[in-house]
Structure 1
């Protein structure tokens, strides 16, 4: 497979060829940069072997057509939060009442002392 500067890049076929041959044959010494493979891709090719670019995405990470991991966040499914729960709401109300009582007693003590 030869590469010319005007050809459309198909990274999957390039990666497969890289897995079978060590070097790329360039036409008339002209390079379009397809022989440059990122280190991450080479290590994944060695590690995964025949499963390179065939494995599904794991742990919410996605892989682009070059074989690089896309490190952008994957949006989780949206849902309505049921917060606070009734029990938690009672705890917040009790905490608020205790805080109001504490502030009131502190103010009464301050007025009584002065």
Structure 2
């Protein structure tokens, strides 16, 4: 049983061959398959030149045989939160008290107006 990946065209070798055979003409009527190269790959080969398929892979990125990038989500590193210091705890308590006071004033104003 052959898999699709085994029977797929090898675009890297086709790209190398196209780089050496720019003016490909079929004299005998037999094709070597280079005319089946996708248009996107040919345009990228012309645009990137020698850098075609030589990009470094970044974290979360892979490059397939056609030179197309596949991006994957990168999970961030996990870390534990530090417990707040006593000064930070006092600031949180003060902020909570101000929030409760603000909501109380807002509700009393709403009841007084209605």
On whether the aligned pair clears a TM of 0.5, the verdict is yes
Q: Distance in 1 between matches of 2:93 and 2:18?
A: 65
SS of residue matched to 1:17: helix
1:47 paired residue number: 47
Q: 1:100 deviation in Å?
A: 0.7
**Cα gap change, 1:8/1:108 in structure 2, threshold over 3 Å: closer, same or farther?**
closer
Q: Distance in 2 between matches of 1:8 and 1:111?
A: 74
Q: 1:62 deviation in Å?
A: 3.0
9-18 or 86-95: which moved more?
A: 86-95
**Cα gap change, 1:107/1:50 in structure 2, threshold over 3 Å: closer, same or farther?**
closer
Flag structure 1 segments of 5+ consecutive residues without an equivalent.
1-6
Q: Distance in 1 between matches of 2:110 and 2:49?
A: 77
SS of residue matched to 1:62: strand
2:38 paired residue number: 37
2:98 paired residue number: 98
TM-score, normalised to structure 2, is 0.55
Flag structure 2 segments of 5+ consecutive residues without an equivalent.
1-6
TM-score, normalised to structure 1, is 0.55
Corresponding residue pairs, total:
106
1:75 paired residue number: 74
Does 1:13 pair with 2:18? no
2:57 paired residue number: 57
